[in-house]
Amino acid sequence: MAFHGVVGFVGLDDLSLDLASSLLRSGYRVQAFETYEPLINEFLKLGGTRCSSPKEAGKDVSALVLLTSQADQINDATSGLQNNTVLIFNSTMLPLYIKNLQTCFTADYKPAYVVDVYAMKAVSDSLNGKIMIASSGSSNAILKARPVLSAMCEKLYVFEGEVGAGSKIKMVKELLEGIHLVASLEAISLGTKAGIHPWIIYDIISNAAGNSWVFKNQVPQLLKHSKGAPKDHLPDTLVQKLGVILNLAKSLTFPLPLLAVAHQQLILGSSDGNTDDQDATLIKVWEKKLGVKISDAANAETYIPEQLASHIVAKSDMVKRIGFIGLGAMGFGMATQLLKSNFCVLGYDVYKPTLTRFANAGGLIGSSPAEVCKDVDVLVMMVTNEAQAESALFGDFGAISALPSGASIILSSTVSPGFVSRLDQRLQNEGKDLKLVDAPVSGGVVRAGNGTLTIMASGTDEALKSTGSVLSALSEKLYIIKGGCGAGSGVKMVNQLLAGVHIASGAEAMAFGARLGLNTRMLFDFITNSEGSSWMFENRVPHMLDNDYTPLSALDIFVKDLGIVTHECSIRKVPLHVSTIAHQLFLSGSAAGWGRQDDAGVVKVYETLTGVKVEGKLPAVKKDFVLQSLPAEWPLDPIGEIQKLNQDTSKTLVVLDDDPTGTQTVHDIEVLTEWTVESLIEQFRKSPKCFFILTNSRAMSSDKATALIKDICTNLHTAAKSVQDADYTVVLRGDSTLRGHFPEATDAAVSVLGEMDAWIICPFFLQGGRYTIGDIHYVADTDQLIPAADTGFAKDAAFGYKSSNLREWVEEKTAGRIPASSVASISIQLLREGGPDAVCEHLCSLQKGSTCIVNAASERDMAVFAAGMIKAQLKGKQFLCRTAASFVSARIGIIPKAPILPKDLGINKERNGGLIVVGSYVAKTTKQVEELKLQCGQILRSIEVSVAKVAMRSAEEREEEISTAAEMADIFLAAQNDTLIVTSRELITGKSPSESLEINFKVSSALVEIVRRITKRPRYILAKGGITSSDLATKALEAKCAKIVGQALPGVPLWQLGPESRHLGVPYIVFPGNVGDSGALAELVKSWARPIRFSTKELLLNAEKGGYAVGAFNVYNLEGVEAVVAAAEEQQSPAILQIHPGALKQGGMPLIACCISAAEQASVPITVHFDHGTSKQDLVTALELGFDSVMVDGSHLSFTENVSYTRFITFLAHSKGLLVEAELGRLSGTEDDLTVEDYEARLTDVKQAQEFIDETGIDALAVCIGNVHGKYPASGPNLRLDLLKELHALSSKKGVFLVLHGASGVPKELVKGCIELGVRKFNVNTEVRKAYMDSLSNSKKDLVHVMESAKQAMKAVIAEKMILFGSAGKA
């Protein structure tokens, strides 16, 4: 193992031995100073090194852990520290003391890296026994300390900022422990006074909503009179700890009423003179002070309530008809569960719409309590309070009057035990042999609806026997409590006492944590793994953190339930101080007007009084800082190992993609848009390593998506059985921003594929900026990471969510079916420090049917996970993955390739426009569309499709909108314009997710119809948005399969549609709605746009590469321009339109505009060149007129003057990106009235040419090798090819193109010879002019015929030259 450095300890305890052991296992050397021999001996056994003094312990260490508060030891240990040493203070010290130490060290050591830690062993099911650490310090200190801190623990919580967070968290935990302990004693006392066996209370409550870690783990020790009870929970110890917390709260002017009264109770206990005796447990003290004989009750004979329930249910009477009064949230779920259990149920509620809803669910309804009680065997009462129960039974048209003799009543409302006892006596006095079962329930609305409530039932054996089948149908846990009617409500009362106190204490703790400046979300996570946790804390605090008080259980319910507690404690003479204060807190909340809100709203009492905010909105974090603070990546690239492992498995990975964007990280993989058994058999016969099936299920309702997934999985099973040795693994590719049908799609797949060892949730997607770190899923936005729930994606009308923490997201999306606490997690620390083998081990250790989320911040993380998962699969484990795109490429071991450009597909020369269709409504897409219009407005034509018209208006308006858009698109595309079709940006949503999906469908189908009606073949098609791209591919373009060629941009897949599709060969770009920054769409469109103008340099570079020459044809009018373009398009040849100063003098700007427009509209590369610029003024003017290149003609000047003249123009031209051609030597002859006599002509000198090129920086050189302007003599041209050869050798070295003027009349063989010797541009004028002039001599009837005749004559000559020059077919 690699050596990571030395860590020193000053002081040891049992926990620090575990920290040291973890460091040693991670490759650190550990040395320590400790005076207590047993501890140091254990340390030596671990492999540590003993130090003789604190100073020696701090010598040469990278980090020093201080578990002492003795100043002399601290000073000694730190006296010789290196400047970059990390000082780690144990948070048994007070925050102020640690801050003072930090100030001291900051002054003495520069830089000083000081952090504090609070370390403890977790007690939660997920982390039981593993070390977790809360640490705080400056960003730099944390960054420096993190490797050591991570190596010491399994779970690290980092609170950036000033030191002291660790001790603050410890205080919050101890606050909760103190309150929970006193509340547990109050609960046991009240239950005992109510005649309920303490162990029965413990057995039921420890599995109910009133449970806490303290109750479950400390109450048994107290009831057993344990000797040596935990020192932390002895009265004196607790009084001291809680006193410190109260003193701090006092200094902060922060009220802690629950803690204060718990503290007073413990002071009462500690005031007993025998508390130093180990036998004097808290229970004994409590008994003495309160007069409750808990010990005697605990030692009495007990029984097992579940066994009593089993006997009752086994002997229960048959029940046919059930009356049900009270169809509120809980009651409705219970009544419909009875319907599902095949009972006939007659329901009544005062709220009429609920009656209609119950009738729609299959129930019978009545207009009064009496009406639903006729001829029933059992009546179930689930009303709010005692008054409603009294009215429903004995009021006008009450139930008692109509109940048949011998009927049974199940009272499931939460009422006082005294009320139940009195009601039982009253029913006996009715003389109708009515039997009462006291059966309060616990579990919430979800459990009510699926028959998994906890029920605490009491009554006579006969009453219980008559109702056993009903109670069984409603419950997962049924307890029969001895003691007659009222005993069940007594247990429920005790449960509610604890549940109410735990909600209120959770509010007090979180508000205090917020006042201490702690990150409340991290505080919550830490507490849930600690001894301060309770069922209600874990369940209700998330509501406080989300600031969401949608009533799942109203605050006023606890006003009532704790009111019952305070009433009963008064009657039974048991003072319950903590419970009474909790009741007052709920009363305060109700008085403030929050009674109908969720009971977690009690936290607002603290928020209103103190001004703090508990809301734990996850902060946006600096991307670079977070990524840099993570452990180093796993050093080995697993891709090769993955490829080998995949060969060993021979399974095909089948990716069910809920929209086409999931292909954004792969290449050379096929996509099916149909899933018939035949098409799947064809795929399996190819034995591919992977293929995609495009389901587009995100655009469907939940029911349709579920049916679709089942259908596909069934067909896969059938197809695989039909192909020898075919085997496969299914992956559900979903949105990286967490939208889609989860868990419905996963449930559907499992229903066909069979139960999995685990579901894997992995939304990491690097190209889209999606990171999962610390179980929180983030979306990158410039330099920040934004929690996913705070982005626009989470506000999706159909798939919105509130949780960024993936554990909580799973619980939210499964409506509590999979609790956050049960969700496993693979941390980045495990990936980066343990590698694939650690992943495999972790996955193999999961309980069957688990859900596991994967953290990842890099492609390497993803590959490590994929390798580990494959290894686990090879061991027989089966997983169903719901992932983003990055997982797929890692899982099949794909090596990325560079983004694909039009030239890679051979379409860079096509001139027709591209089609961009945008349907996505996420904010990112809207920004991208705005930026696209801004950057590409000159080359883009936009068509906006009104969402209101296609989705909300009449069929006629919808049709008109579709027809108009399609017609305009055809016109724009025909004009070779890139065309944007975009839906109007106002977001129209329905009243429900299903209505929103229906609107989406109407919009998407309108886009499909528009594209279907477009007849012009686009240069490429870009579809923006998942649903849009899927529907266009499958419905508008009729593709049944496609090949993923690669990516047009990172995260933007490029498809080649199958042979059956419309517009065969047109590239199809699938641009996800949630990918890229605001400029990404514009960037892609610009790179794929039709080139408006080629540069002359591009033409000549291509000619150089292809060994041919490009003709530059002088033009004077429209006919000449059209002749060149027509010949070029016919011959598929590049060409240059050339304007001489003489022609410019006559034609002016209209001639230039004509040439430029013709070049832009041409389907082949054409540029416009200014020829023979002999005047500086003409050339400077030409540079501003839109030419692609210019010729600087200084041949009439001396060499020195020519160099100066040419250099000046070259500098100006290059600043505008124009190619410059110049002439050295001088041609004789006449061109456009400019004549050079023979005696003035001179050949190009090679030595001068080298100097000329070096001094001027030109791009092309027109040479004189015996060529002339105009006609050659009868003897023909006398070209010096030997000179041309030398000039070519020079120009090749300099990267300069050779140009030959005077090509008219040069024999074909000489032309070809010149091309072989490097000439890349030939000027042609005389022969084309002659053809034009000759055509005029033929008489024509009309001017248009003259124009046509001239055009055809010139075109013939030009085409012949293109063939001669070798440029034909090279466009």
Positions marked catalytic = 492
If you search the block for the tokens 């009303």, which residue do you land on? 383
* Start-end of H helices in 226-304: 235-251, 257-270, 282-290, 294-299
Structure tokens at 1246: 């090679």
Residues 6+ away with beta carbon under 8 Å from 277: none
Given a contact cutoff of 8 angstroms between Cβ atoms, the answer to whether 1024 and 925 are in contact is yes
Q: Report d(CA 1060, CA 382) in Å as an integer.
A: 63
Q: How many CB atoms lie within 10 A of CB 3?
A: 8
Kindly list the distances between the CA atom of residue 742 and the CA atoms of 329, 658, 763, in Å, as whole numbers in the listed order: 25, 11, 12
Q: Quick one: tokens of 1165?
A: 């590369």
Q: Alpha carbon 69 to chain centroid distance?
A: 45
CB burial readout 933-960, b (16+ within 10 A) else e: eebbeebbbbbebbbebbbeeeeeebee
Judge contact between 3 and 29, C-beta under 8 A.
Answer: yes
Name the 3-class secondary structure at 100.
Answer: helix
DSSP 342-386: T-EEEEE-SSHHHHHHHHHTT-EE-SSTTGGGTT-SEEEE--SSH
Q: How many residues does the chain have?
A: 1371
Spatial separation of the C-alpha atoms in residues 1071 and 1082, rounded to whole Å: 12
Element (H, E) at 886: helix 885-891
Pick the closest to residue 162 from 100, 251, 245 (CA basis). Answer: 100
> Is the CB of residue 869 less than 8 Å from the CB of residue 856?
no
Question: Distance (Å, rounded) from C-alpha 1350 to C-alpha 1358?
Answer: 12
How far is the CA of 443 from the CAs of 216, 449, 542, 890, in angstroms? 18, 10, 17, 42
Cβ pair 187, 205 in contact under 8 A: yes
C-beta of residue 1201 within 8 angstroms of C-beta of residue 1209: no
Q: Please return the burial class of 1038, using the count of CB atoms within 10 Å of its CB with bins 0-12, 13-18 and 19+.
A: middle
Whole-number Cα distances in Å, 1172 to 912, 1167, 1202, 1331:
34, 16, 13, 23
Report how far residue 54's alpha carbon sits from residue 67's, in angstroms, rounded to the nearest whole number: 11
Radius of gyration of the chain (CA): 42
The whole-angstrom separation of Cα 446 and Cα 1088 is 53
Q: How far apart are CA 875 and CA 1240, in angstroms?
A: 91
Using N-to-C axis directions, what is the helix angle for 14-25 and 139-152, rounded to 10°? 90
Q: What angle do CA 121, 127, 128 make, to 5 degrees?
A: 60
Q: How far apart are CA 742 and CA 306, in angstroms?
A: 36
1041: tokens are: 């399969």
- CA dist., res. 836 & res. 870, Å (int): 9
Distance, CA of 764 to CA of 886 (rounded, Å): 7
Buried b (16+ CB within 10 A) or exposed e, 447-465: bbbebebbbbbbbeeebbb
In 3D, which of 1111, 1018, 1148 has the Cα closest to residue 1311? 1111
